[in-house]
Each structure stands twice: as C-alpha cells, then as structure tokens.
Amino acid sequence: MDMNAEALELDTAIRSRNTTEVAVALVLLPVMVGIAWSAPSLVQSAGFALMAVGCMVVSLVLGLYGRIELPEAHLDEATWRSRYAAYLQRQVKLLSSAPLWYVAPIIGGMVLVVGGPSSGNVGMFMMVVGFGLGLCVLNLNEARKLAARRDAVAA
C-alpha cells in the first residue's frame, strides 16, 4: 500500500471515530443536563453537570481541532511527507491531551455521581477510576503509535 493510500485509510478511520464521539456526546448532553436538573443530591447534580460540560468540551474540541486536512496527493514527495508529518503531529497532540479535555470532566463527573470512595460504593468508584485509566491508556497508546508513524514519515 502506498503512503498516500495508507494516509487516506487512517484519515477515514479518524474522521469516523471523531464523528461517532461527537454524535454520542451530543446525544448524551441533554440527557446529562436533564438528570443534573433532577438528581437527588447536589453532589450528584454537580456530577451530571460536569459530565454535560465534558460532552460539550468533547464536541467542541473534536469539532474545532479534529478536522485536520490531509496534504494534497499531487504534491512532490518531500512536501507531502512534511505536511503529513505535521498532520500526524496534530493528531498526536490531540490524543496526548485527551486525558485533560476528554477523560477528566467525564470521569470526574462520574466520581461525583457515585459519591467517591467514602460513599460505601467502593466497587463502583474503583470501576469508574479503572474506566478512566483505561481511556487514558487507550488515547496515549494511540498517540504513541501515531508518533512512531510520524517519525517514520519524517525520516
């Protein structure tokens, strides 16, 4: 497979993932707001509100920064490689920062909803924390893979 076809395949996968994540966040946003409005406690309301903010942040970040254009196929190889390496670097930065803009507000809200470790819900708390750590590992692992690809393209 030539490098341009490989880049197109990766770009298609990234756009599909981003579209799915934005769609899910936009569907969950009004649900989280509704639950926050009617939650039984102020702490749970704050948790659902934080998850709603997380849904908005995910939609905005992926909408604004997730739309990265591939270099045009007709460019000479050196220019194309340079632009593709820059494309990959922007994807690496987005994935590397996902624990801050993606995971933190959503998992933080979930921790508030389950009441933290002192609520007697230790199992649920551990599950939420494990889920958050798993999301961080997945995003950072993808960033590492794309960084390796970027380095190979730039070489």
pLDDT at position 72: 83
Question: In the chain, where are the structural domains located?
Answer: 3-154
* pLDDT averaged per 10 residues, the chain (length 155): 84 92 96 94 93 96 86 86 92 95 94 79 89 96 96 90
Give the pLDDT confidence score for residue 1 in this predicted structure.
Answer: 56
pLDDT at residue number 94: 95
pLDDT at 117: 63
Closest CA to 107 of 128, 80, 84, 85: 128
Cα 68 off chain centre by:
15
Phi, psi of 114 (to 5 degrees): -80, -10
